[in-house]
């Protein structure tokens, strides 16, 4: 019996590389074959001789011509990827993982919270929601970043705003917001009210809303916790988790946490699940 190889990457040519910030680049890649995916899913980007890393897809299938990957230079493979120029081929495997459960949120308010690179996995979802705006009620995005220059996808944010998105840019105050949650400093952790004040800004009804939170691991949990104390149902708060991954298909075991594989059971989890399984 011939078994399809789940570990064999598909060739994908780099079409365009854009510098987003000093250490984040946006890669547009063109896969050899048709490659369908949905918001929330990720791929394993592969470079022969260097290795593989999980990268969330930041483009929307059907809208963007190419697969777009927003990659921060952090490790061995991502550093190697950062050296690549257009027309070079990389490998991609996937798409893997579950998707943001957006259909359930129809008819409700939606809140997106993105911290730094966290906007990347949310971008296809926001695009989809904005395109189908009529089926949702009010939509808001809190976008935080350490540095005003590090706000990603400004063009997209503009176009979303034109379509009626409430935008709360957390550049200055948001800096505080992120620092408050970001720092493990005990003296600062008490000041949750600031977050709350911040998260309170969007004009939505918290008891009847869905939230999608993405960002550095250290920010996700406190944010979701605050949202849930503000009256949001823990089952309606979602995030996309990061984990050490090698296979993407639930075999290698690296992303396994308390009975769940982030790669196949996730990466999108609700706050209720996260509390139940004790992630982080």
Binding positions for other proteins, rule: CB under 8 A: 1, 3-8, 48-52, 72, 74-75, 78, 217-218, 242-244, 246-247, 249-259, 264, 279-280
Q: How far apart are CA 99 and CA 10, in angstroms?
A: 21
Q: Where are the beta strands (DSSP E) in 138-195?
A: 139-144, 166-170
To the nearest 10 degrees (0 to 180), the angle between helices 192-200 and 217-229 is: 70
Cis peptide before 95 (omega within 30 of 0): yes
Q: 84 vs 252, which CB is nearer to other proteins?
A: 252
Q: How far apart are CA 87 and CA 104, in angstroms?
A: 40
State the nearest-atom distance from the C-beta of 54 to other proteins, in Å.
Answer: 10
State the nearest-atom distance from the C-beta of 244 to other proteins, in Å.
Answer: 5
State the nearest-atom distance from the C-beta of 251 to other proteins, in Å.
Answer: 6
Q: 72 vs 138, which CB is nearer to other proteins?
A: 72
State the nearest-atom distance from the C-beta of 51 to other proteins, in Å.
Answer: 5
Give residue 153's Cα distance to chain centre: 13
Q: 188 vs 252, which CB is nearer to other proteins?
A: 252
Distances (CA, A) of 58 to 26, 213, 248, 279: 9, 15, 17, 24
State the nearest-atom distance from the C-beta of 207 to other proteins, in Å.
Answer: 32
Contact predicate 176/165, CB 8 Å: no
Q: 73 vs 106, which CB is nearer to other proteins?
A: 73
Rg of the Cα trace of the chain?
A: 18
Contact predicate 145/170, CB 8 Å: yes
The count of other CB atoms within 10 Å of the CB of residue 51 is 15
State the nearest-atom distance from the C-beta of 129 to other proteins, in Å.
Answer: 28
Q: 80 vs 272, which CB is nearer to other proteins?
A: 80
Q: 49 vs 62, which CB is nearer to other proteins?
A: 49
């Amino acid at each position: 019996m011939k078994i399809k190889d789940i570990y064999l990457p598909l060739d994908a040519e780099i079409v365009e590389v854009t510098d987003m910030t000093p250490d984040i680049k946006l890669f547009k890649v063109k896969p050899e074959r048709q490659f369908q995916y949905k918001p929330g899913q990720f791929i394993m980007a592969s470079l022969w001789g260097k290795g593989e890393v999980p990268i969330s897809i930041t483009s929307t299938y059907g809208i963007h011509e190419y697969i777009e990957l927003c990659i921060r230079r952090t490790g061995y493979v991502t550093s190697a990827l950062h050296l690549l120029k257009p027309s070079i081929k990389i490998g991609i495997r996937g798409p893997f993982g579950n998707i943001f459960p957006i259909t359930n949120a129809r008819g409700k308010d939606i809140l997106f919270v993105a911290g730094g690179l966290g906007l990347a996995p949310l971008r296809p979802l926001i695009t989809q929601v904005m395109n189908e705006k009529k089926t949702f009620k009010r939509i808001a995005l809190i976008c935080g970043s350490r540095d005003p220059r590090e706000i990603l996808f400004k063009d997209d944010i503009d176009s979303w705003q034109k379509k009626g998105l409430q935008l709360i840019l957390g550049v200055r105050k948001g800096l505080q917001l992120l620092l408050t949650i970001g720092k493990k400093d005990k003296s600062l952790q008490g000041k949750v009210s600031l977050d709350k004040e911040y998260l309170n800004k969007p004009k939505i009804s918290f008891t009847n809303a869905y939230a999608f939170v993405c960002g550095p691991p250290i920010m996700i949990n406190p944010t979701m916790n605050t949202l849930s104390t503000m009256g949001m149902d823990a089952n309606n708060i979602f995030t996309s988790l990061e984990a050490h991954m090698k296979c993407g298909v639930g075999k290698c075991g690296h992303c396994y946490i308390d009975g769940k594989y982030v790669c196949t059971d996730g990466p999108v989890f609700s706050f209720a699940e996260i509390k139940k399984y004790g992630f982080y």
